[in-house]
Amino acid sequence: MPDTIPNFLYPHVASFAPDNSSFTINMSKLGRYKNTSWSFQDEWRYIINILPMNMNQPVENLETAATIMANRILQGVEKQKFPYYDMHLDDEAFNNMEVTLSPAISSGERVIVDALRSTYAPKMTISNSSLYGTM
């Protein structure tokens, strides 16, 4: 595998200044590329960036506040203020959902997925990965 492939699949989002005094974060690199093994998938990808800061401040202060917050998170001083974000979806979305299972799924995890489908989305399609058994 060429050295550039992992850079696309697992990009570094932080760029540090030569003297390490500052850095920038480019979230637009995340989720843009996928391994060619998954090229058969026709999917939609959504990225939700949640920053624990007040977005209602003047624009000139926003960049500074974002940099300070990012520094504090990277240094382990600040943490995200909530452990998860609940996204509300129309129930019909689950009926139209197609799930391709991980090639490394265990039999116990498969039972859980089947139970979730039975309970919440009986019309959902579940498929095994074409890579099943290779990992």
Average of per-residue pLDDT values in the chain? 79
Which residue is it, tokens 């030569």? 18
Residues 61 and 111 in one domain: no
Residues 11 and 63 in one domain: yes
**Res. 1: pLDDT tops 60:** no
**Res. 100: pLDDT tops 70:** yes
Is residue 135 assigned to a domain? no
**Res. 26: pLDDT tops 60:** yes
CB 80 within 8 A of CB 52: yes
Q: Which long-range contacts (CB under 8 A, 24 or more apart) does 84-91 make?
A: 85/48, 85/50, 87/48
Domain extent at residue 17: 4-74
Instruction: Give the pTM.
Output: 0.47
